[in-house]
Chains A and B, each alone.
Chain A
Amino acid sequence: MNGKTILAIAGFIATIAALAFVPFVVGPYGVTLMIGMLGYVVLATAWALFSGPTRYVSLATVAFFGVGAYTVAVFSESIPYPLLLLVAAGIGLGVALVVGIATLRLAGVYFVIFTFGLAELIRQLVTWYEVNVTGTLGRYIFLPITPEGIYWQLLALAAITFAIAWWIGRSRIGLALRVIGDDEVVAVHCGINITGVKLALFGLSCTIITLVGAIQAPRWTYVEPSIAFNPTISFLTLIMALLGGAHRLTGPLLGAVPLFLMFEWLSANFPNHYSIFLGLIFIAIVFVLPRGVLAFIEERWTLWRRNEPVSGRTADE
């Protein structure tokens, strides 16, 4: 481990520690804002964990987020809380593995459409079950968890997610994912068990996403399928990761923070025209920054350095 790595780890721990004190400094609105923001930071980072290197664009984020939230809603009275999170994670992982086995052979746009369809399917199934079996559409969640408690749980989940993403980026499995993203035929001829690698990472990514939903659920008090399975969550996660750059560890973070704050401001000030702005921003990001902000800045930086008047450099060119 070199000096730079140690410094990065120290900086990371210090940041997490500092963030843990935020609830003591900001008011209740601040905590609410931070919960939303951290939620999207984790969602976007977890999404990019799988979709970044493999380029399998998933719109199933809300399927797993919703499964997490609904698990908490359904079992909040029968299972003690910390265990409830484990159960949610288990269900999320189970669904991810079943879905993964069925779909990870699909490539490109077919995978995108399938994942979008999956989110809708789960929402319809839950709605059908609630209406026909339970006899009511919504559910109440009464759990004695403070907003600060939710914030700290999300912070811990964010720390774990970043640690995992960092480790994967340096590990053999990280390289395997990048090889798969570039060319699956080459990957499999290099000896990579591509189905296994994809399934493992999809499962991991979806489990984290499920946990975000489960941890945030007590905030709502009341859930119904249209809230827990709102497709906007999938699109926001995707666009945040793309804005920052899905191929880098901190890319999704850098996309999630500004976009979340902007959407908060827009939805507060233009509640009726919010989705128009949302759409315009999506289009703008895809057109202007298709490879993400970080890649854009890096390119500019390289260009700028190249254009600097460098004496003596022309001699060896």
Chain B
Amino acid sequence: MSELLTITGLTKRFGGLTAVNAVSFSIVRGEVIGLLGPNGSGKTTVLNMISGHLSPTGGTIALGEETISGLAPNRIALKGVARTFQLVRGLPSLTVRENVVASLAFGRRKLWGEEADREALRRLEEVGLAGRAEHSAQDLTYIDQKRMELARALAADPELLLLDEWLAGLNPTELRTGIDLILSLKERGITILLVEHVMDAIRAVCNRCVVMNAGRKIADAPTAQALADPHVVTAYLGDAHA
């Protein structure tokens, strides 16, 4: 077992607010880890620090042997971390294909021209969007925008994929498709850290869950065990239910 991601004492303060407080956990290559917790518990902040969107106030993040905390997001992307965003971020003035080419052209693979176009189409096929390749990205439905964003992240051939509530807002049928998609990524051996609230999805895809509350880690265990942890139940539902 080799650790792909090692987070040690990670802390983020915004003025007087400590959003993430000395959080430590690690992810083994090939694992799918759920990062859970009530709203405002600091999950997305952790994700943002891993991808470099925010720089930590304290602690370290290592990808393999290499410390990546404090690097610019483009440097971290080139080391093999890709992500989707909580609020979908498509590139509206580009076509769907160009959205994926963006990640192929500047990511680790540096593909361009026909080669990049072919690869982009292949990536769009994986998420079921090949038919819309030449559409403008702003014309896509919500689920298709999410698919496009995932295709863009996958096109970077990441070692670590960060999904920030990628399944949120989907209807039951779309959710099934979404879960299957994540499971197929898991089979391919992609290491995934996902922030998620959809419990069915968490049970279906996560090997292990890290649970946060008010900026601290309160549980870190195999999925079923983590979800049954009294601290976790209290954090989500309040004392009476524990």
Instruction: Give the contacts of B67-106 with A (CB-CB under 8 A).
Output: 72-74, 77-78, 82-83, 85, 89, 91-94, 98, 101-103, 105-106
In the bound complex, do residue A182 and residue B93 qualify as a contact, i.e. CB atoms below 8 Å apart? Answer: yes
In the bound complex, do residue A186 and residue B112 qualify as a contact, i.e. CB atoms below 8 Å apart? Answer: no
Question: With a CB–CB cut-off of 8 A, which chain B residues contact A176?
Answer: 105-106
Which residue in chain A gives the minimum CB-CB distance to B73? Answer: A188
Q: Decide if A179 is an interface residue (CB 8 Å cutoff).
A: yes
In the bound complex, do residue A175 and residue B73 qualify as a contact, i.e. CB atoms below 8 Å apart? Answer: no
- The 8 A CB mask of A142-173 against B (1 = contact, 0 = none) is 00000000000000000000000000000010
Question: With a CB–CB cut-off of 8 A, which chain B residues contact A187?
Answer: 102
Residues of A in contact (CB 8 Å), total 19
Q: Which of A183, A190, A194 has the most CB of B within 10 A?
A: A190
Contact A190 to B106, CB < 8 A, known contacts A175-B98, A175-B101: yes
Chain B nearest Cβ from A141, distance in angstroms: 43
Question: With a CB–CB cut-off of 8 A, which chain A residues contact B83?
Answer: 189
Question: With a CB–CB cut-off of 8 A, which chain A residues contact B156?
Answer: 190-191
Rounded to whole angstroms, the CA-CA distance of A191 and B79 in the bound complex is 9
Q: Decide if B107 is an interface residue (CB 8 Å cutoff).
A: yes
In the bound complex, do residue A190 and residue B93 qualify as a contact, i.e. CB atoms below 8 Å apart? Answer: no
Chain A nearest Cβ from B37, distance in angstroms: 23
Q: Which of B52, B74, B152 has the most CB of A within 10 A?
A: B74
Chain A nearest Cβ from B27, distance in angstroms: 19
Contact A186 to B91, CB < 8 A, known contacts A172-B112, A191-B78: yes
Report the interface size class on chain B.
Answer: 20 to 34
Question: With a CB–CB cut-off of 8 A, which chain B residues contact A188?
Answer: 52, 72-74, 77
Q: Decide if A22 is an interface residue (CB 8 Å cutoff).
A: no
Q: Decide if B53 is an interface residue (CB 8 Å cutoff).
A: yes
Q: Decide if A91 is an interface residue (CB 8 Å cutoff).
A: no
Q: Decide if A14 is an interface residue (CB 8 Å cutoff).
A: no
Rounded to whole angstroms, the CA-CA distance of A233 and B16 in the bound complex is 48
Q: Which B residues form the contact surface with A (CB < 8 A)?
A: 51-53, 72-74, 77-78, 82-83, 85, 89, 91-94, 98, 101-103, 105-108, 112, 152, 156
Contacts A190-B106, A194-B74 aside, 10 further interface pairs with beta carbons under 8 A come to A182-B94, A185-B53, A185-B73, A185-B89, A186-B91, A188-B73, A189-B74, A191-B77, A191-B108, A191-B156
* Interchain Cβ contacts under 8 Å between A and B, 24 examples: A175-B105, A176-B105, A176-B106, A178-B91, A178-B94, A182-B91, A182-B93, A182-B94, A183-B91, A185-B89, A186-B85, A188-B73, A188-B74, A189-B51, A189-B53, A189-B73, A189-B74, A190-B103, A190-B107, A190-B152, A191-B78, A191-B107, A191-B156, A193-B74
